[in-house]
Amino acid sequence: MATTEQILAAMGEIVNEVAGIPVEDVKLDKSFTDDLDVDSLSMVEIIYAAEEQFGVSIPDEESKNLKTVGDAVAYIERATN
Amino acid sequence: MTFSPRTPIQSSQGSPFARIYGMSGYSPSRIVTNEEVCTWIESSDEWIRTRSGITERHWATGEETVEYMAAEAAKKAIERSGVPVEEIGAIIVATVGWFTQTPSLACVIAGDLGSKAAAYDISAACAGYSYAIAQGDALVRSGAAKYVLAIGVERLSDLTNKEDRSTAFIFGDGAGAAVIGPSDEPGIGPVVWGSDADQGHLIQQVPHWPQAVEDGKQPVLVMDGNPVFKWAAFTVCHYAAKALELAGLKPEELDVFVPHQANDRITQAMVRTLKLPESVLVSHNIAHTGNSSAASIPMAIEALYQDGKVHSGETCLIIGFGAGLVYSGQVIVLP
């Protein structure tokens, strides 16, 4: 069972690898597009990497609602716990 | 049930292996820059480059018809192969841009070349070139043809909606060809190909031709970019890895990787997922050609030859993927 902190840390690594954003900038209240400048294709890669890492499925219609890092972390937390 | 012909018949005997004797690519003459694209759609050079890797694309002029580009590519590949035209037993054209139901473009090209070969078109969109190579390999090994001319040609500019912000900057035109023939050593690896029709709606011609005729308007290609990106970058690359494995190569033994030039972001994601070492030369030809569907792989290989970056005998993994959805990949030994 992954904790919020563990999921956030993993998301930081994923966002860093896909979009080159420093891990420390990836915080719960940050918007992927407005704050982290993640474009739609990078978002697809981030979602895919998260699905692989946590063994969850994030359908396209759900991924559109994941505006902030916190949204994604909460979704993964619900899906894994 | 036992198979027992009343009278035994003969079968054809082909070559144990096949290889590519000569390849070519044809880039049409009109260069369309991102600046020009931005006169049709609200976008910017930077947005297009960062989302696709495209800086310019080649579009055919009025004289550069699908037939003309295919014939030019064919003649160049045949000349480079050293194979006499009359030895070619089959001509396969992969295209979505030949708008004549019959005769096929392959037959028209046979006529242009003075060939009497079997000739037929295939419709496998962006995977078409790899499909044609796979068929050529099979025909040579079965003995159905001694030499096969495989052509990929497109004029996607004809199918581009210049008002669609999501696709207007992507597509390009061009052609490429390969002459495949008998070999004592494997020169074409096992093909990994298939279709994924559940996702067929992601890339479509809209509307179908009868409706277009009724409307008096040319149909266009529409694409749902993000799901296509996900499928290509993360599903198709597993098929690419399989093609490499079936050819008996480890990633570090591969010389060149030429994926269909659909979007450079897909290429980059594929390289990451496949964990290709830096020693593998990767084509990013889309920067100068846009996405030219069945023509993109041979055009990309042609560019690598022109730049002196590839040489005869090198192993090259090609993987095509696109509307259908369809995919196809194999390792080829460069002629």
Residues paired with B122 in a beta bridge: B94
b/e string for B214-243 if b means 16 or more Cβ within 10 A?
eeeeebbbbbebbbbbbbbbbbbbebbbeb
| The pLDDT of residue B309 | 97
Average pLDDT over every residue of B27-43:
95
Interstrand relation of B118-122 and B88-94 (parallel, antiparallel or unpaired): parallel
| The pLDDT of residue A1 | 67
How sure is the predictor about A40, in pLDDT bands with cuts at 50, 70 and 90?
Answer: confident
Tell me if chain B has a CB within 8 Å of the CB of A64: no
- CB contact at 8 A, B149 and B92: yes
| The pLDDT of residue A26 | 93
Locate the chain B residue with the closest alpha carbon to A46: B230
Average pLDDT over every residue of B193-218:
94
Q: Does pLDDT of B1 surpass 80?
A: no
- Over pLDDT 90: what percentage of chain B? 95
Interstrand relation of B315-322 and B256-259 (parallel, antiparallel or unpaired): parallel
Q: Does pLDDT of B216 surpass 70?
A: yes
pLDDT tens per residue, range B72-98: 999 999 999 999 999 999 999 999 999
CA pair distance B222, B225, nearest whole angstrom: 9
CATH of region B17-183 = 3.40.47.10
Q: Does pLDDT of B215 surpass 70?
A: yes
Tell me if chain B has a CB within 8 Å of the CB of A61: no
Q: Does pLDDT of A81 surpass 90?
A: no
Average pLDDT over every residue of B2-7:
91
How sure is the predictor about B62, in pLDDT bands with cuts at 50, 70 and 90?
Answer: very high
- CATH number for domain B192-334, candidates 3.40.47.10, 3.40.50.720, 3.90.920.10, 3.40.50.300: 3.40.47.10
Average pLDDT over every residue of B180-196:
98
- CB contact at 8 A, B188 and B19: yes
- Which token pair is A51? 């699905």
What is the enclosing helix (H) or strand (E) of B93?
A: strand B88-94
- Over pLDDT 70: what percentage of chain B? 100
Residue B293 vs residues B14, B18, B125, B222, B277: alpha-carbon distances, Å = 31, 25, 6, 14, 27
Locate the chain A residue with the closest alpha carbon to B225: A41
pLDDT tens per residue, range B129-176: 999 999 999 999 999 999 999 999 999 999 999 999 989 999 999 999
Please report how many Cα atoms fall inside a 13 Å half-sphere around the Cα of residue B312, on the Cβ side: 8
Which residues make Cβ contacts (< 8 Å) with residue B166, sequence separation at least 6? B223, B225
Q: Do A45 and B51 touch (CB under 8 A)?
A: no
pTM assigned to the model: 0.92
CATH topology of domain A4-80: 1.10.1200
Tell me if chain B has a CB within 8 Å of the CB of A39: yes
Q: Do B269 and A45 touch (CB under 8 A)?
A: yes
b/e string for A41-65 if b means 16 or more Cβ within 10 A?
bbbbbbbbbbbeebeeebeeeebee
Average pLDDT over every residue of B35-46:
94
Q: Where are the domains of chain A?
A: 4-80
| The pLDDT of residue B225 | 87
Tell me if chain A has a CB within 8 Å of the CB of B50: yes
Q: Is the dihedral of CA A49, A55, A61, A66 positive or negative?
A: negative
Enumerate the CATH 3.40.47.10 domain ranges in chain B, comma separated.
Answer: 17-183, 192-334
| The pLDDT of residue A62 | 87
| Residue A26, min C-alpha distance to chain B (Å) | 21
Q: Do A45 and B233 touch (CB under 8 A)?
A: yes
A60 tagged catalytic: no
Tell me if chain A has a CB within 8 Å of the CB of B233: yes
Region of B173 on the Ramachandran plot (φ > 0 left; ψ -120 to 50 alpha; else beta): beta
Point out the residue among A39, A43, A60 whose CB comes nearest to the CB of B227.
A60
pLDDT tens per residue, range A47-70: 999 998 999 989 888 888 899 999
Locate the chain B residue with the closest alpha carbon to A41: B226
Say how many residues make up chain B. 335
Which amino acid is present at B327? Y
Which residues make Cβ contacts (< 8 Å) with residue A75, sequence separation at least 6? A58, A62, A66
